[in-house]
Structure 1
């Protein structure tokens, strides 16, 4: 199959000839695809080596943990690379129906199982990055420069003119997209130009991750994955998801200092898993075969850099993905959030062309960041509401956080039994609908005034799910 860019997708010649993307993460790859519609040439700069095989790479330490591609992200990647996720499924990715194939213990009860139609794709992050990279490598207008770091921005008269590279050379550009992740140097680059760094909103947390890959044991099971999502005062959460080659990846997540496998030892990993609120995940991995070492990682804080508030931002600069906003990875929004950001960049460039005319980038930076901020508002609200609930009263809360956390807890109880509520929750989780959709009158009434039912104490089987009222 010819995987080159379809001619009708390439508009070209917008704002000059060259766009530079900093970072070859999934966010950077999606941004490169979006920029390639508008610029004659796109160069992706990555300080890491880019492997020729679908494997983990050193520059993505969090890549060893569970990474799932939500529906919102799948739509973006399939838009730019038609058939991508279907090809990945043939190559080993696993698609799950979140209502039917995942057994989910959430805030004290097992959710009802049902065919939701809301599908998520599971694979290693290395396989996803490699698959997208192979598509982009076939586009003549996109080039990769691995092992290339960026040390500065080049700006003239308030407008981006390129980037300074770590080897002392310069690369001209009309647009620079920073997709370099949470450790982005962009605030420092701006300060070096005597410009202010963006204001930052931060929710400090104390979360540790530990992950291991397994080959499943011989027992039969009617599920493909498992989520154990605790509520306060419990401090332990876990995810088991399928991977290529019939493997599982299990990520344990500890809050408030209750860190899993603190010594990196497999025995400690298993002992910590045995202390989860329900025994199902521990039983599953007790008979499974570990095939890797235990990998650990810490997440310091939810962090949002408010580029949308800056009035002195250079024209032709865009900051997306974790470089803009980094959210707790347990909610699986990171890759999809970055991919949707690329779609918003594409839309902003389209609008810029219509409003200002070809070749005119003035106003693009503000146009994009304000549009992106409206989307990030939704992601931030839902994920931090959960985090505030776990962190307790000592955290500095947004005014709405206590009310939202209480409502979400009551709504979660509703999803134990109510299919319509569970489906709406999955739509929000997958970035298909805004969180305000959970306040629809029918759902609000059920959550606040409906009859409260006891939680399910056993994980529901598929057979029970089919016959459930």
Structure 2
């Protein structure tokens, strides 16, 4: 797409779509829906800030957020030039292979120019500028400080929503992007539709995050990741963010959480498998409070398998599948989900007719589930490794975790495998590409050669 003048709003023939939630997924879904419906209403229960800051309804927004290439592609499609705009305002572009010193499960990953860049910034910063771009789309309105109390239904169709004040808004399609605590299962149960089957992998990770200004010294990297190998329980991420600062997140498993003050925050880093992170932070200046958050479990609601799923409702992003934020796929899988909905609406118009919604929900959830299968695998296979150290996890999951460990060892020295590993992380390749025979043989033959111990330059 070359510009706004190429967009055809309302092309599906639908009158009204409602999007629940103004998260990054909700904002992308609103832009996608605007191409198919005469009017789109985004309903957000929070009071939305006027500037690039965090908001109460997103408790994880204090922590580091990166936008992977898969997500960037979607946002740039619906908001042309967004990446350029974000970089001009303070986002930092990072080549995951070249700009990050990444210690992963016992060795430093090979560094090279991969061309696979991601955007680093705070969550509030990202949401603020996407909201500004959404406000330029003429047939979208955003209601804030407004709670959706329930759905309305007629027969097998969801026909709209009921707001907290009793107001009913009718819609051809309701799009739930309300996040992990989505109330859609409760609402569906109330109408007799049943609830989706749930998959869950408990991880119980504690996050502690604060901001630093970097010491005024030259360095050949922009960020640092120290990713422990189970049964070790500590992982740390240092990423650049707007304002020339570092956002540092410490992740502890099984109750091994960093404290809520800077002294205990720094002390915790001495327990990482290598001292580099502690050494770097000891010379930096903390400029914010320490913010803490808990993530209990990976959670997937299988709307694609519901036998009695209603028409007129789709569920995208964390409201459908909530993944361990450590692997940074949440915002991107939600964004890609909205592009899948866009494609399904176009297919629906071609196959069924303009404005005909019957069959869309099943069409979308089946298509989205294929992406979620890949995201679930990628984001949980290392988590299964941690779970299995305590005797948990299915055998096939433990085997997959073991194999991924061998692939990880190859990324210490093999540029081609490291590049494919990054492509999988960025949702540019399916995880199964790392399991093709030629890769498997190399992994099993070469992984035992020893760690690649090229240390990064110190700040």
Of 289, 293, 309, 1:293 maps to 289
1:272 aligns with 2:262: no
Higher mean C-alpha displacement, 302-311 vs 13-22: 13-22
Distance 1:74 1:31 in 2: 14
Of 30, 36, 39, 1:38 maps to 36
1:90 aligns with 2:88: yes
Superposed counterparts of 1:246-395, under 5 Å: 246-261=244-259, 264-394=260-390
Aligned to 1:230: 228
1:13 Cα deviation from its structure 2 partner: 5.1
Superposed counterparts of 1:42-61, under 5 Å: 42-61=40-59
Distance 1:183 1:433 in 2: 29
Of 396, 399, 414, 1:400 maps to 396
Check 1:58–1:379 CA distance in 2 against 1; reply closer, same or farther (3 A cut).
same
Distance 1:111 1:394 in 2: 27
TM-score, scaled relative to structure 1: 0.95
**Which residues of structure 2 form unaligned runs of 5+?**
none
Distance 1:33 1:291 in 2: 36
Distance 2:196 2:423 in 1: 32
1:4 Cα deviation from its structure 2 partner: 12
Distance 2:11 2:419 in 1: 43
Distance 2:193 2:426 in 1: 36
**Which residues of structure 1 form unaligned runs of 5+?**
463-469
3-state secondary structure, aligned to 1:40: strand
1:430 aligns with 2:415: no
1:157 Cα deviation from its structure 2 partner: 2.0
Aligned to 2:166: 168
1:311 Cα deviation from its structure 2 partner: 2.3
Aligned to 1:466: none
Residue pair 1:20, 1:176 contacting (<8 A) in 2 also: yes
Residue pair 1:5, 1:139 contacting (<8 A) in 2 also: no
Q: Which deviations, in whole Å up to 9, do the C-alpha atoms of 1:27-65 show, x marking residues without a partner?
A: 100111110110011010000011111111111100000
RMSD: 1.6
1:167 Cα deviation from its structure 2 partner: 1.1
Distance 1:367 1:432 in 2: 23
Q: Which deviations, in whole Å up to 9, do the C-alpha atoms of 1:236-271 show, x marking residues without a partner?
A: 00100000010000000001111111xx11111010
1:71 aligns with 2:76: no
3-state secondary structure, aligned to 1:457: coil
1:396 Cα deviation from its structure 2 partner: 4.7
Residue pair 2:79, 2:133 contacting (<8 A) in 1 also: yes
Residue pair 1:184, 1:323 contacting (<8 A) in 2 also: yes
Of 125, 128, 131, 2:129 maps to 131
3-state secondary structure, aligned to 2:142: strand
1:440 Cα deviation from its structure 2 partner: 2.8
Residue pair 2:409, 2:447 contacting (<8 A) in 1 also: no
Distance 2:189 2:447 in 1: 56
1:244 aligns with 2:207: no
Q: Which deviations, in whole Å up to 9, do the C-alpha atoms of 1:355-395 show, x marking residues without a partner?
A: 10111110000000011111100111121110010122546
1:5 Cα deviation from its structure 2 partner: 7.3
The aligned length equals: 458
Distance 1:400 1:349 in 2: 36
Aligned to 1:99: 97
